A and B are shown apart, each in its own frame.
Chain A
């Protein structure tokens, strides 16, 4: 084993193929370590990609993936022509864009504020408390929305009636779906998202702050001219990731909040894929919609990354 080691700097005369083969032989154990993940990925991630072809076929379980009839783009055209195509697209985009607009800046602001806090112990208490909602499940979050916003017993409507208003049917109202989705998201994830910005702020060179203080800069000025420019690269990277994920909005919360009365705004691509595929068993149609969503998402990520490269010199690759 040891004697056959060829160091990487060794430009020996043996053919490169032999060299690689020797390396692989030397490191065979390392490949065994990789075996489990490779098998899992081949079976559960790559084989389903082979199954995507049913989007272009009329899938019948009895004939299997390969034996089903090719139909070309039929399912895609059906989807684009269906009466609710534009509603679903608008719902998906509106919900994710608005979520981004409201939930992206919040952790940055809170992190900067926390960073200016000098009382260590109190800072720690605030941090611990605002991380908490991250650890409750989506089911519990939606359950909390249901009980707090209940028209006759919820605390929110008690407050409204206290001030002389009429109770509002929050959860069963299409106009309230988006604000509730976004607000509950901000409540749940803002605190935990501050961690990454706090890490970036901790890396700011203290000399910059000292110099600014010597020049008589106020705290506000230091936040604006030292802190924010220093964490800009982190902000850009996370913004690229978030923008690239515009079409990748999650299924869970929308699905749990969805009911017949808010369906007009809560029907988004992932819930529709579930409804058509799992509940109505239209496998091919559902796969086509999911594939359309994936393709749009990939194009988005590449585009956003290109634009970011041009504008800020910070990019993912």
Chain B
């Protein structure tokens, strides 16, 4: 095969050249916006404003970061996001893995009924308002529970974990264990879980990313600013242009305010996205694995 691949016609050489060039261009197009945010967050806002910052930081300054870190709202948002992502991930992964275990077993009575019970919710739901009214009636408005419980155990995640169990734990193993008098619960704890570290890692990552980046539930269910997760704090700064007064105390003129706001925007994008952007290359194989398992028709 390798011998064959080395034989190249002129056309193939051109194919390769064009392919490499185009993919490199694509890569740079994806990378540049992120790179620009990074350099702009260290640059003099007046130079950004006048269009002199292109490929390298100009008028290096840490002023933007200084203002961001001196303001409490970002930190509160950070702490809240970590709390919601932590608790939400624990609950979500536990519910998902526990549900997937019986559904992976052969010959569970009523399995298909339960599967449909879960699947129907994918195609049909009560919608925004009935769900909102329910959360309100349960007195969950403005609490952490509204963010971490209703969405736990998403169908797609359950299917991924179930497929993984089915393909890694052979039927003979279930049989053997039950003949040896191993109870279903013990089998789960001592055989299934230790064999499923990778799929659990996939689930943890999916949940963490989902909670860290999500803002819709928080927007609807939370009204107390001290409970806002990072994304809602960011929305005020990035989308609604309301940089907190705490960051702007010493800025006088309107024009200067505009420019400092701009600098702060570049900074908060970095501060909020950097944890994931730094982490995901190391965890890439798990993200890919999740997509792979999910794409096998269960």
Contacts and interface: CB of A to CB of B under 8 A. Distances in A.
Binding site of A, secondary structure by majority: helix, strand, loop or mixed? helix
Contact of A148 (B9, B11, B33, B103): B33
Interface string B1-37: 1001101010110011001101110110111011011
Contacts of B251: none
A41 B153 contact: yes
A164 interface: no
A291 interface: yes
A41 to B, nearest CB: 6
Contacts, number: 276
A30 B280 contact: no
Contacts of A125: 27
B241 to A, nearest CB: 8
Nearest to A278: B220
B102 A210 contact: no
A128 B278 CA distance: 11
B130 A187 contact: no
A147 to B, nearest CB: 5
Interface residues of B, number: 102
Interface in B269-288: 269, 272-273, 276-277, 280-281, 284, 287-288
Contacts of B36: 148, 155
Interface stretch (A49-57, A80-88, A260-268): A49-57
Contacts of B288: 195
A48 B258 CA distance: 45
A48 to B, nearest CB: 2
Most buried by A among B5, B12, B209: B12
Contacts of A140: 234, 238, 269, 272-273
A218 B179 contact: no
A135 interface: yes
A147 B1 contact: no
Contacts of A24: 109-110
Interface residues of A, number: 95
Interface in A132-161: 132-133, 135-140, 142-144, 146-148, 150, 152-153, 155, 158, 161
Contacts of A196: 291, 295
Given A37-B158, A206-B1, A298 B128 contact: no
Given A33-B99, A117-B20, A48 B131 contact: yes
Among A33, A110, A146, A155, the one with the most B-chain Cβ atoms within 10 Å of its Cβ is A33
Contacts of A36: 94-95, 98-99, 152-153
A128 B128 contact: no
B48 interface: yes
A41 B117 contact: yes
Interface stretch (B58-66, B183-191, B194-202): B183-191
Given A52-B127, A140-B269, A37 B118 contact: yes
A128 B149 CA distance: 33
Nearest to A281: B129
B256 interface: no
Contacts of A161: 51
Interface string A272-293: 0110011000010011001100
Which 4 residue pairs spanning A and B have beta carbons closest together? Answer: A48-B126, A143-B238, A51-B130, A290-B127
7 contacts: A23-B109, A44-B151, A51-B130, A51-B131, A113-B19, A142-B238, A290-B127
Interface of A: 1-2, 5, 8, 20, 23-24, 27, 29-31, 33-34, 36-38, 40-41, 43-52, 54, 65, 110, 113-114, 116-118, 122, 125-133, 135-140, 142-144, 146-148, 150, 152-153, 155, 158, 161-162, 187, 191, 195-196, 199-200, 206, 210, 213-214, 218-220, 234, 251-252, 256, 273-274, 277-278, 283, 286-287, 290-291, 294, 297-298, 301
